[in-house]
Structure 1
Amino acid sequence: MDTQLLRTFLTLARTGSFTAAAADLHVVQSTVTSHIKSLEGQLGLPLVDRLPGGSRLTPAGTRVAQHAREVLDAQDRLFAAARADEVVAGEVTVGAPESMCAYRLPVVIAELATRHPELRVHLAPAGTSAALAGLRAVDGRFDVALVLDDQVPADGQVVGAEPVTLVAAPAHPAAHGTVTWRELAGFAHFLLEEGCSYSDRFAAKLAGPARITRFGSIEAARSCVLAGLGLSVLPRIAVAAQLADGSLREVAVDLPDVPLAVVTDPRRWVSPAVATVTEAIGAAWR
């Protein structure tokens, strides 16, 4: 069996449409269609339901997807053994928080590109739940999950901690002097979406009902604070430039650092490429 058929199938399982799979694989859509039909013909089973809005796996397709990942891992192990003394090569997709993708990981990837030109690392912004789901999905969307969360997964390795801070515009009342948790409850807050551990922890500590708006984007929350509309808890690195130029100020409240953990799927083989990326991420926080 041509393993490229399996790679196309897993890409279709992940993207949910023939058009998106073709774009992801840099081929025409007819190639994806041909690969799926060929695989279905060899297995004698329909693997994908073609729907008006995309595609979804049949029950047989779901079973095949799990084993397809194992077959491709075995192939990767074979090639890695043959190239044991050669360069680190391949593609690694990392699901990570927006702040890590924007501020921390680009430097890591740039250094990896210099040391390992045939290693390609892709970043996908994702919160904790989405990162772990993408890592553990049968299609193996992510090879590595980087999670910023108080609750470290059992199969995760803590590599460091990220400081978070409560920020306000200079003219905001909370930006001057010490404030209590009860006083903070009287202000508007722009927090990251539910599931963000440090945002959820902050919201739970507010003494009384508070006006809380949730965003899926650091940029959106930060923009509301810059406009003087309220407060936000954000990774310090995401507001470092604004704190330096005075457009934002830290509010005097104690917020603990948030553990940062690297997670891989214990059911999957850790390739040299994945091992190289996880080691580089860990070294960046030492």
Structure 2
Amino acid sequence: MDTRLLQTFMALARTGSFTAAAAELHVVQSTVTSHIKALEGELDVRLFDRLPQGARLTDAGRRVATHARDLLDVERRLHDSASSGGTIAGEVVIGATESLCAYLLPQVISALATTHPDIQVHLKPLSTANALQGLGRPEGGLDIALLLDDDVAIEYAARTIGGQAIELVAAAGHPAAGGHHDWQDLAAYQYFLLEEGCSYTDRFLRDLTAASAARPRITRFGSIEAARSCVAAGLGLSVLPRLAVVDQLANGSLCRVNGPELSETPLHLVTNQRRWASPAVTTTAEAIAQAGRQSR
């Protein structure tokens, strides 16, 4: 079997779009269409339902995806074995929360570009749930997930490589910037928090609502930059990883709010223990683990 057909199949399963799959594979859309038709003909089964909103795996397609992922892993392992003792090379796809993509992983990628220039690292900013799905599903396409979360499901091979301090921050001129504030005081303010599912913001909100009869005013964002900008404009408070606000704390545009102590959030490096990890994936994972330990 031509493994190019399987690569195209997995790209379409991952993206759900013939156009997006073509862009990912750097081919024209007609090539994706012809590859899928060829694979369906060879297997004598329909792999995708063609819908107005895109391509969706059929039940047969989902079964094929598991074995296709295994075959492609074997192909990668064969190539790596043939070049054993030589240059470590290959693509590594990392799914991580936005703050880690923006403030921790760029330094890792920069260092790898110097020590292992043939490793190509791709970052995908994802929520914890989406990163774990991308790692666990055969068509998910992730090799590594890097997560700031209190806990990770045990079916994944997760190791805690460090932790990140969480800061309650306000603009320098905000009323919360002075004095000490208990939970009752804090419940009176407006908050700009990351979307539901972010463990440290969900934990903060649970503590805040449990300690006060007042209902805090909450605006949720999918972007750290948006939340941080609203806080810097003096509109309210937020809880963010220290690595995302360290520059603003240093230049005075944000300040720490003196209030209840916030727990550090563990930093987890997660892989799929059912899949073979290439030397490129292993090397990248070790570089991330070292950076995680140094960032505490």
Same fold (TM over 0.5): yes
Residue type at the aligned position of 2:245:
V
Residue type at the aligned position of 2:22:
A
Cα deviation for residue 140 of structure 1 reads: 3.1
Residue type at the aligned position of 2:7:
R
What's the counterpart of residue 168 of structure 1?
Answer: 170
Give SS of 1:240's match: helix
Cα deviation for residue 48 of structure 1 reads: 1.1
Residue type at the aligned position of 1:168:
A
Q: Which runs of 5+ in 1 are unaligned?
A: none
Give SS of 2:104's match: helix
Give SS of 1:234's match: strand
Q: How does 1:243-262 map to 2 (within 5 A)?
A: 243-253=249-259, 254-262=261-269
Identity of aligned residues (%): 61
Say whether 1:205 aligns with 2:211. no
> How many correspondences in the alignment?
286
Question: Aligned partners of 1:205, 1:282: CA distance in 2, in Å?
Answer: 31
Give CA deviations for 1:153-211 in whole Å, capped at 9, x if unaligned: 43210001111100001111111011001110111111111111100010011123211
Question: Aligned partners of 1:10, 1:185: CA distance in 2, in Å?
Answer: 48
Question: Aligned partners of 1:92, 1:59: CA distance in 2, in Å?
Answer: 28
Give SS of 1:195's match: coil
Residue type at the aligned position of 2:147:
V
Q: Normalising by structure 1, what TM-score? A: 0.98
What's the counterpart of residue 136 of structure 2?
Answer: 136
Residue type at the aligned position of 2:200:
Y
Runs ≥4 residues deviating over 2 A: 152-155
Q: Normalising by structure 2, what TM-score? A: 0.95
What's the counterpart of residue 271 of structure 2?
Answer: 264
Say whether 1:58 aligns with 2:58. yes
Structure 1 contact 170–247 (Cα < 8 Å) conserved = yes
Structure 2 contact 192–219 (Cα < 8 Å) conserved = yes
Q: How does 1:1-286 map to 2 (within 5 A)?
A: 1-154=1-154, 155-206=157-208, 207-208=211-212, 209-253=215-259, 254-286=261-293
Question: Aligned partners of 1:34, 1:61: CA distance in 2, in Å?
Answer: 17
Question: Aligned partners of 1:153, 1:99: CA distance in 2, in Å?
Answer: 21
Question: Aligned partners of 2:238, 2:128: CA distance in 1, in Å?
Answer: 19
Q: Which runs of 5+ in 2 are unaligned?
A: none
